[in-house]
Amino acid sequence: MGIGGVGLAGVAILLRQRGWSVSGCDRHATGDQADALRRAGIPVAEGHVPGHLDAGCNLLIHSAAVADDDPEIRRAQSLGIPIARRGVVLAALVSGGAGVAVCGTHGKTTTACFTLRLLQALGADPAWCIGGRTAAMGRVADGSGRGPLVVEADESDGTLAHYAPTVLVVTNIDADHLDHFGTLDALEACFAAARDRTRGGVVFCADDPAAGRLCAAHPGAIGYGFSAAARLRISDLALQADRLSFRAVLDGRPLGEVTLAVTGRHNALNACAALGAAVALGHDPVAAFRALDQLTELPGRRFERLLRQDGIEIVSDYSHHPAEIAALAALARLQPAQRRVALFQPHRYTRTRALAEAFPPAFAGLDELVLLPVYAASEAPCEGGRTEDLYAVFRRQAADGVPVPRLAASLTEAEAWLGETLRAGDQLLVIGAGDVVRAGERVAQALRERRPSGAARLADLLEARGDVAVRRQVPLAPLTTLGVGGCADVLAEVASEEALAAVLRLCREAGLPCRLLGGGSNTLVSDLGVRGVVVRLAGAAFGGIAVGPDGTVRAGCAVNGGRLLNRVAEAGRGGLAFMEGIPGTVGGWLAMNAGAHGGAIGDRVRSIRGLKKDGSRAIVDGHAAGFAYRQCRALEDLVAVEVELRLDPGDPADLAAQRERCRGKRLDFEGRRSAGSVFRNPEADAAGRLLDAAGCKGLRVGGAAVFARHANVIVTEPGATASDVLALMAMMRGRVLTTQGAELVSEIRIWQDSTT
């Protein structure tokens, strides 16, 4: 069960080659791995179904990703079928003969691949089962070799303690998988158990304090590294963009100098770990050292270049622990690039929470960082483990040389931003152990097919019309009251209904998002900006106000709300005093059904005239507009250009007094930038009360803070980002859910992804 995973797939291949009849299942039974298993004679079924066991089974093996209470496992228990974890079975395979088990928090896949290749170069004819592969290996496992079995031994689920190899390699021991072990002591005890069961030599990194503490006293142990305590000591390391060289001595005996067609300080250590394993197996140290020049490949997703074209380089890397990311960043800095952009997908909520403080320094030296939502890997979200929590740590530390991240809502949003912004001289690092690799592949493919974006082509068409003012890559922050956010691919300002109709029609034909921006008083734009077209209504066609003798008022939707209130008051028309002090344009008021003090703009609407998404005209009666709390359903499919209001006659002095009373009830933001209420009021309650009770006043992320005078207001300061606001909103929402049991819904309209 879980045979599609690289670890269990390898075990299945070994068992098949040893004569077992093997079949498997996985929730995702498609792709290269599943196809390779089928070619090896191993059937792979879709999903985990108890009926898979009806044909008979002598042993059920499952990966760590399959829960112990899975229905198929419960079925096996009821049938009396023995059940084993993948790591236990692999431990038995390597412990039954000559074998090398490579373990450690970081670098074990590369070290295992290096060990395999070195033993092949020395003529040892090894077999292998490794959680990654190089192009030369071709597959993750092959048991046909008659020499030692080289395996990658995973500690994450505790099964490392079952291994009894001929040689144990410990690359390092770092805080990780504490969701399983609970404490660092328990993690180290797992490594110690494998050390004690090892039948021959133990090879360990002498530079790593924990590995040295656990392994140095083992009889015949070989410590490797740069430190004076290492028996196998590296010196004179020289790193270049695509190669490294170093000298080494073993117990004071010079072994010579070697050059490898890989680079990075950590890969020099990985190579020496492989050398130590060969020596522990009895190979001549000098011959083994000379054979290190055969280590020409890294396994997949270890600084794997997906693209090098038009001055842009895309590198995919499996790093997901801060120490690994720091090594990757150091390796990236060896490469010629004008700008280094990282796309990082944190892996598991528990790891993100446990290691949050260590992540920011790992990205030092990079220029841009996009943070994706956490890849759950079957975990449930936990407090402190979400991407927004990690982002808050970045902002709190604010270390020199560490980029301020941009929060992405999804892979889709990040990919679209990268497609618009990557330029010659950029290096993109795609980092993480989840499905972020697919994003890197899609971005690389899009760049290979480099064509003008849909937004760029549409901008060309609009410019050719002559009646649309078009600007490209326009910062939207100055156009919103929060003053934060990224760029619009295209900003189109239209001065006539004909021009607006053309923009709407062309966007629809091109399949591009089209958003309307009024006063920007209730809009939060992602730091990654927005794709497609942002439209603003401009000119007299949308800015007029006409007061009729029967009390009706027609107002263009680009009219500023305050201007409308002044004009109708001058004309002796009342009924809108409750709107006093509410920012925005008439169009924005309608879209949000803005209101206060028990009133809403929708109460006064007689009709709305607008354009449909295909550019055709329509008029909607006010009673049919679908006005509700902070929404107007009709405007989900209609762009309002003019509204007709029903207002009451009134004395100008009385109307002025009403407005003054309403103005006095408005919250004074003390000159701070804000979008007003952040969350909608739940039914029969107030969001502000819930947020206050949850202790949200005083919360801050970067340059965004909860307003001291009202818990449902976020204010921004100079230097604030949209990601600050998004992270703070997530923190506020989480506190209310945890302490009050209420799920808050955003009142601010958030522009992310490709939503319209």
Alpha carbon distance, N-terminus to C-terminus of the chain? 42
Q: What is the DSSP letter of 630?
A: T
The domain limits of the chain are 6-81, 89-294, 304-448, 454-537, 540-665, 673-751
| Mean of the per-residue pLDDT values of the chain | 95
What pLDDT does 452 receive?
A: 81
pLDDT band at 551 (very low <50, low <70, confident <90, very high): confident
In sequence order, which residues have a C-beta less than 8 Å from that of residue 20 and are 6 or more positions away? none
* Residue of 545, 595, 592, 546 lying closest to 575 (CA atoms): 595
Q: Give the tokens for residue 704.
A: 């965004």
Per-residue b/e over 410-445, b at no fewer than 16 CB within 10 Å? ebebbbbbbebbbeeebbbbbbbbbebbebbebbbe
64: pLDDT strictly greater than 70: yes
Pairwise CA distance, residues 713 & 667, whole Å: 10
- pLDDT over 80 (residue 117): yes
pLDDT tens digit sequence for 169-222: 999 999 999 999 999 999 999 999 999 999 999 999 999 999 999 999 999 899
User: Residue 453: its pLDDT value, please?
Assistant: 86
For residue 669, the number of C-alpha atoms closer than 13 Å in the C-beta half-sphere is 20
CATH 3.10.20.30 fits 6-81, yes or no: no
Q: How far apart are CA 502 and CA 468, in angstroms?
A: 9
pLDDT band with cut points at 50, 70 and 90 for residue 242: very high
DSSP string, 408-457: -SSHHHHHHHHHHH--TTEEEEEE-SSTHHHHHHHHHHHHHT----HHHH
Angle at 279 between CA 274 and CA 284, to 5 degrees: 120
pLDDT, average across residues 387-406: 96
pLDDT over threshold 50, residue 160: yes
What is residue 548's three-state secondary structure?
coil
Q: 143 pLDDT exceeds 70?
A: yes
How many CB atoms sit inside 10 A of residue 71's CB? 12
The secondary structure of 489-529 as a DSSP string is EEEEEESSHHHHHHHHHHHHHHT--EEE-SS-TTEEE-TT-
Confidence class of residue 756 from pLDDT cuts 50, 70 and 90? very low
Nearest in space to 556 (alpha carbons), one of 615, 640, 500, 613: 640
Look up residue 746 and give its DSSP letter.
B
User: Please, what CATH class does the domain formed by 89-294 belong to?
Assistant: alpha beta
Q: Which long-range contacts (CB under 8 A, 24 or more apart) does 735-743 make?
A: 735/691, 735/694, 735/695, 735/696, 735/699, 736/690, 736/691, 736/694, 736/696, 738/383, 738/694, 739/693, 739/694, 739/695, 740/690, 740/693, 740/694, 742/682, 742/685, 742/690, 743/682
Q: Cβ distance 60 to 76 under 8 Å?
A: yes
Per-residue pLDDT for 676 more than 60?
yes
pLDDT bin (cut points 50, 70, 90) of residue 486 is very high
Q: Which CATH class name applies to 454-537? A: alpha beta
Name residue 239's beta-bridge partners: 244
Task: Give the pLDDT band of residue 755 (cuts 50, 70, 90).
Answer: very low
User: Is residue 752's pLDDT more than 90?
Assistant: no
72-95, pLDDT tens digit by residue?
Answer: 999 999 999 999 999 999 999 999
731-747: average pLDDT: 96
- Ramachandran quadrant class, 213 (left: phi over 0; alpha: psi -120 to 50; beta: rest): alpha
Averaged pLDDT, 504-533: 95
C-alpha dist (Å) from residue 104 to 108, 110, 268, 359, 473:
6, 11, 16, 19, 46
Condensed to tens digits (0 to 9), the pLDDT of residues 266-309 reads 999 999 999 999 999 999 999 999 999 999 999 999 999 999 99
> Has residue 395 got a pLDDT over 70?
yes
Q: Which of 393-407, 554-568, 650-664 has the lowest mean pLDDT?
A: 650-664
Phi, psi of 375 (to 5 degrees): -80, 115
Helix (H) or strand (E) holding 236: strand 232-239
Question: How many other C-beta atoms lie within 10 A of the C-beta of residue 503?
Answer: 25
Q: What is the pLDDT of residues 605-626, one digit of tens each?
A: 999 999 999 999 999 999 999 9
Q: Indicate the CATH number of 304-448 among 3.40.50.2300, 3.90.190.20, 3.40.50.10490, 2.60.40.10.
A: 3.90.190.20
CATH of domain 673-751: 3.90.78.10
Separation between Cα atoms, residue 69 and residue 12, nearest integer Å: 22
**Short-list 205, 297, 287, 226, CA closest to 260:** 297
- The whole-angstrom separation of Cα 422 and Cα 670 is 40
- The helix (H) or strand (E) run that includes residue 566 is helix 561-570
pLDDT value at residue 627: 96
**CA distance to 25, 45, 74, 420, per residue, from 49 (Å):** 8, 9, 11, 44
CA distances from 248 to 95, 268, 290 (A): 31, 10, 11
Pick the CATH number of 540-665 from 3.30.420.40, 3.60.15.10, 2.30.40.10, 3.30.465.10: 3.30.465.10
Beta bridge mates, 674:
715
Question: According to the model, what pLDDT value does residue 754 have?
Answer: 56
- CA nearest 611: which of 457, 462, 506, 749? 506
Structure tokens at 229: 């305590």
Question: What are the E-state strand segments in 6-89?
Answer: 24-26, 44-46, 60-62, 83-85
pLDDT over 80 at 629, yes or no: yes
